[in-house]
Chains A and B, each alone.
Chain A
Amino acid sequence: MSGQRHPDTETLASLRAGLVGGLHGRRLAAHVARCARCAATGDELAAVSSLLAATPTPALPASFERRISAALAAETAARALTAGSSEETATGPAALGQAGADPGIAGEHARARVPAERPKAAPSRRRGPALRLRPAMAFVPLVLCVLAGFGYLLSTIGGPSNGSSSSEAFSTASPSAAVPAAGREAPNRPATFVVTASGLNYLPSTLGSQVRLEMAAQYSSSSGQQSMAPSASGSASRNSFAAGSATTIPSEFGAPNSALNGCVLRVTGGVRPSLVDKATYQGQPAYVIAVPARAWVVERGCTASHPAIITTVALTATR
């Protein structure tokens, strides 16, 4: 190639990028130096770079920033919960206390707090939260007992509206309440649940972990609730995992919604859900329903006869 034929654009771009060396490179460079056409192409290539550099890059839109910040806040809450609950449950063995403050020290607990030590992101995302939640799961019966007792107190002391509306709303709830954890242990027992509106946008790739985190966030807000003043309305939108008549229905769901109730019972097979979240899935309105081992995404129009399940995912699978 001694100047008769023009190199193609990609070759010129490679030459400019310093990728064509040796004799070939020197010949090409010599050609470009005395060929107006190739020199012009070289200028145009440079102009592509400068045009790209001059194109403004937008700032992160506020709506996205809120969404991502919320997701990070949920992570933070889940992490705090895990750290907190492992302190409470692991009373005996090795006072790991501030577990994981130094990841090098506290072996198992560090792994639970910062689960993704595996090389690839995807599997760790799946497995991580399962590990993370294990201490939280152990914590559940305790939370339930305390909550149920607390709910009983509430219904006897202050909250006639609260208690009665819940048993109306989901007629399957036991009216006499305070039957701790029974709903959880007997699969055939009808469900009692609270509908949350997390505002999360669930995604296929992270559905399992988002559900686990949301469940964890609810456990943590439940346990937070015990220590809070028993204001019946205080539990409005981001409501907690509830047992028996301690169930508090967010105001927007105060009216009985038998369609949703039927849908949930149908989907879970009668098991009381740990989570019923009015949210979006890939941007589309949906309910996310979960029991400890499985989550479902259903359309908003889901009913007992037409469950309209969009997708489902196992939560404990170790894959």
Chain B
Amino acid sequence: MAGGEPSDAELLRRHVAGDPEAFGMLFARHKDRLWAVALRTVCDPEDAADALQEAMISAFRRAADFRGDSAVTTWLHRIVVNASLDRLRRRQTRSVSWSGDPEALDALAAQAARGGAAPGGSPSSGIAAQAPGTASLDSAEAVETRLDVDAALRTLPAEQRAALVLVDMLGYSVADAAEILSVSPGTVKSRCARGRSRLLPYLSHLRTNSARGGNQPGAASVSSEQEGGV
């Protein structure tokens, strides 16, 4: 935290002390990452936005409970993950079944095509929306890959998906993910392992297409937390 920017913890302190701006700054600082967690966990932009909104309101009110034994971001992520899983439980029918997904995929593909023209426009283009800097990399193949990954993730049980999203997609350490998910590191590892093995049949065709180059770094980064028991 060099420079004049207040730290997360400082912003949270100011918020608790009554500063009306502080929480908004905190949200602005982490919104994209929190959104990614919500979106990938819930798998539906509308529901993810609702979950994120509930989570932020909850964090706003519970700020005084924050004890400082974890990072503010970890605490925020935990609230977002919990809100996302809550929402999934309430709308189980949509997330668990794989059966309706071919149509959903068609719709998503159409959406993605439109989303390329007007990124970030309509609320429903959430999945297709890109981080600003990556829009130009959005080749048809990349879109296809992302849609496949989205669809494949949807086949996982929510807890496995949440773990995998945090560790593999967003690059959190197993320890951080464990703290966010309020489970042991071993549980995170096992959820990730099961999730990867379940995703394999859906994603192996993509590896042959596109992941040749990314193969080794990925393996290395994952194995760094795996060496222990082998």
Interface, chain A (partner B; CB < 8 A): 8-10, 12-21, 25, 29, 41, 43-65, 67-69, 71-73, 75-76, 79-80, 83, 98, 100-103, 110, 113-117, 121-122, 124-125, 128, 201, 203-206, 209, 283
Contacts and interface: CB of A to CB of B under 8 A. Distances in A.
A52 B194 contact: no
B226 A56 contact: no
Contact of B61 (A53, A62, A116): A116
Contacts of A98: 18
Interface string B107-148: 000000000000011110111111110100100001001100
Contacts of B165: 52
B27 interface: yes
Interface stretch (B68-76, B95-103, B199-207): B199-207
Contact of A18 (B64, B204, B226): B226
Contact of A53 (B46, B57, B168): B168
Nearest to A28: B230
- The secondary structure that dominates the B interface is helix
Interface string B29-57: 00111111001100001100110111011
Interface of B: 16-18, 20, 23-24, 27, 31-36, 39-40, 45-46, 49-50, 52-54, 56-58, 60-65, 79, 82-83, 86, 90, 120-123, 125-132, 134, 137, 142, 145-146, 149, 164-165, 168-171, 186, 189-190, 192-194, 196-200, 203-204, 206-207, 210-211, 214-215, 217-219, 221-223, 225-230
Contact of A59 (B32, B52, B121, B169): B32
Closest 9 CB pairs of A and B: A50-B218, A46-B219, A57-B36, A13-B193, A60-B35, A18-B229, A52-B168, A47-B207, A9-B197
B169 A19 contact: no
Q: Which of A29, A63, A69, A73 neighbours the largest number of chain B CB atoms within 10 Å of its CB? A: A63
A53 B149 CA distance: 11
Contact of A116 (B65, B197, B210): B65
- The secondary structure that dominates the A interface is helix
Nearest to B188: A17
A18 B131 contact: no
Nearest to B120: A61
A47 B169 contact: no
A272 B196 CA distance: 58
17 contacts: A10-B194, A18-B229, A43-B215, A47-B207, A50-B221, A51-B145, A53-B214, A53-B218, A58-B36, A60-B35, A63-B121, A67-B53, A68-B56, A72-B23, A75-B60, A121-B62, A128-B61
B187 to A, nearest CB: 10
A296 to B, nearest CB: 21
